Structure 1
Amino acid sequence: MTFSLATIRVDGTPTPVLSMDGKLYRITDLAPEVLAPNPAGGLMTVFAHWNTAEPVLQRAADDLTDGVLTCAPVNAPGLEDWLTPLQYPGKVICTGANYYDHVTQDGGHVGFTKEDNIPVFFLKPPTTTLVGQGKSVRYPVQSSKFDYELELAFVIGKRGRRIPVEQARDYVAGYTIGLDLSARDWQRHPKHLVKFDLFGGKVFDDSCPLGPGIVPARFVDDTNLQLRFRLNGELRQNANTKDMIWSVPELIARISEHVTLEPGDVVLTGTPAGVGLSTGIWTKVGDRLDGEIDGLGSLQVEIIDDHPESDGT
């Protein structure tokens, strides 16, 4: 039975849950042993021991479906009760320029060939950039060109370094939806010495919505997933992961040449064409962002004003 893993707030406490058939079940009720090594770690504990935790969770989901196991679901949470699934991964690694149409249409790189290039990556600090389903994203006050990027994200399930492409899928625990929000005018600031600044343009607070849940890799074909992004209900991005330049295994192999991948690490895989960089349509305070990926659900956030009184908190 297909399921996903999420974190919601229950009675004010972040609680890891298993989502199935539209209902949410506390993992402590279904399979407490998967949290036993470190109950306070939530889903980070589950992914730290993914090879042993996954079959236990799968068995619990199957038993629940077959009526062998009975368990009361938690009350349906409001959007305000959803949290980012992982609190918090050691690394959030983002991939730039990984869809052919984004590179040619949005980036203007006509005649681009995969063979003559390598993927580009950058990091986002997890504790200050990750936000969950239904949350508010503070508009970066330093920007007037605030952009969206819908991306497939995956979660690492075991530690690895210098991972061969042919073994890379063994390291993927699950998939979720990510938004790589960007301040384009700071990404390409005229006063920056080298005219390109991924720190200013990519790593501001709330710049990486993630969720709603994580679907185990066994249920997902990452080579053929449709992505749809809507801004205030209007379709702005509509593409398929088959148009990626570098595949998930190729990204893992390249990343692990430079850094050790650890359980719970999150990798965003790049965005297709249709972003504001090419259309000139930027997000503003009050906008609703909705990213949808086949089989993974829908991730929704709203842009709010960044009030001065929040400084220093």
Structure 2
Amino acid sequence: MTFALATLRVDGAPTPVLSLDDRSWALADIAPDALRPEPSRGLMNVFDHWERTEPLLVAAAERLAAGTDTTPPLPPSATLEEVLTPLQYPRKVVMTGANYYEHMEKDGGHTDWEKDKKIPLLFLKPPTTTLVGCGRTVRYPEQTEKFDYELELAVVIGRRARKLTPDNAMEHVAGYTIALDLSARDWQRHPRHLVKFDLFGGKAFDDSCPLGPAIVPARYVDEDDLRLRFHLNGELRQDANTKDMIWSIPEQLVRITEHVTLEPGDVVCTGTPAGVGLGSNRWMKPGDLLEGEITGLGRLTVEIVEDRV
């Protein structure tokens, strides 16, 4: 049995749900205690109290799977208006760049370096303006002519974390979901930038981080052996495994918490494998359909549209 947590818009309101076997139940109906003490915060409240709420959710899923809880699932899509980002909204979205060996070799041209002499590339995206839910649209950033994609495994934090160690880092991970790190490469490497490298213009623009469709608890995920596949307009562009990460998830969390405290609900995106447009000089445009899949986490789909504003 595996379940996932998502946020759907139901009858006009963001609704935290538990999904099991292609059906979804409102947490308020099957595990109301998991939403306390602040039900209005949805899944953010659940992850704020993950040590207490996870057993409640597991028990609810087991009852549903066994048929001992006969609460009806949410009705079909006529009532479910849209899939929102699972978390409304995390305090931080931390990104790790340049974290797959093949990506560094094929897309970055880096073949002769030693990990022990390097540190990971870390940066932030603003959650309330960059996160986009599954099935939604992404506005094309008109300032760029080199719009690129990066499929990434995203980690959701379940316990406050500061100065982590390799031995305790994974105790702070609550679950996993899928992210797309969308990039404006000509701004990321802008020739007029003082140091010719800009992660603000290149990475932090509006709609640059689709996330979802749901969060799967860590107990059901083997994060060291997950297949990542990304399709652009049906064409397979990325196909890799998390085994190819340069810095493991514990190593990333240790490095991040040297600088900032990770809080419950924070999202850490762990880097992308080879196959991005940067390596082939093939860029995205309005009308393109983006589809990212990771083993056991579902499929994240968004479409690029022109920015009408």
TM-score bracket for the superposition, by shorter chain length? over 0.9
Find the aligned partners of 1:13 and 1:81 in 2 and give their Cα distance: 10
Paired position in structure 1 for 2:115: 114
- Report the equivalent of 1:58: 58
Give the corresponding residue for 1:9. 9
Q: How does 1:82-231 map to 2 (within 5 A)?
A: 82-231=83-232
CA contact (8 A) 2:238 2:274 kept: yes
1:80 deviates by 5.6
| Structure 1: distance between partners of 2:193 and 2:112 | 28
**In the alignment, structure 1 residue 74 sits paired with structure 2 residue 74:** yes
Count of aligned positions: 308
**Shift, 1:76, TM fit:** 3.0
Q: Please, which runs of 5 or more residues in structure 1 have no aligned partner? A: 309-313
| Residue-by-residue CA offset, 1:5-35 (whole Å, 9 max, x unaligned) | 0000000000000000000100000100010
Corresponding position of 1:256: 257
Following the alignment from structure 1 to structure 2, what is the Cα–Cα distance between the partners of residues 64 and 75? 16
Q: Which residue matches 1:243?
A: 244
d(CA) in 2 for partners of 1:157, 1:77: 30
SS of structure 2 residue aligned to 1:291: strand
Alpha-carbon separation, structure 2, partners of 1:306 and 1:148? 18
State the one-letter code of the partner of 1:271: T
Structure-2 separation of matches of 1:80 and 1:282 = 31
Question: What one-letter code is carried by the residue in structure 1 that aligns with 2:15?
Answer: T
TM-score (norm 1): 0.97
Q: Equivalents in 1 of 2:255, 2:104: separation in Å?
A: 19
Partner of residue 35, structure 1: 35
Q: Distance in 1 between matches of 2:233 and 2:81?
A: 19
The one-letter amino acid paired with 2:188 is: Q
Tell me which amino acid in the other structure corresponds to 2:237: R
Q: Distance in 1 between matches of 2:81 and 2:182?
A: 20
Asked if structure 1 preserves the Cα contact closer than 8 Å seen for 2:154 and 2:179, the reply is yes
The answer to whether the Cα contact below 8 Å between 2:12 and 2:81 also exists between their aligned partners in 1 is: no
- Residues in 2 aligned to 1:80 and 1:181: alpha-carbon distance in whole angstroms: 25
Letter in 1 for 2:114: T
Q: Secondary structure at the match of 1:15?
A: strand
In 2, Cα distance between the equivalents of 1:169 and 1:86? Answer: 20
Could you tell me whether the CA contact under 8 Å between 1:80 and 1:135 is conserved in 2? no
Q: CA deviation at 1:111?
A: 1.2
Q: Does 1:286 align with 2:287?
A: yes
| Cα distance in 2 between the residues matched to 1:65 and 1:268 | 31
How far apart, in 2, do the equivalents of 1:280 and 1:71 lie? 52
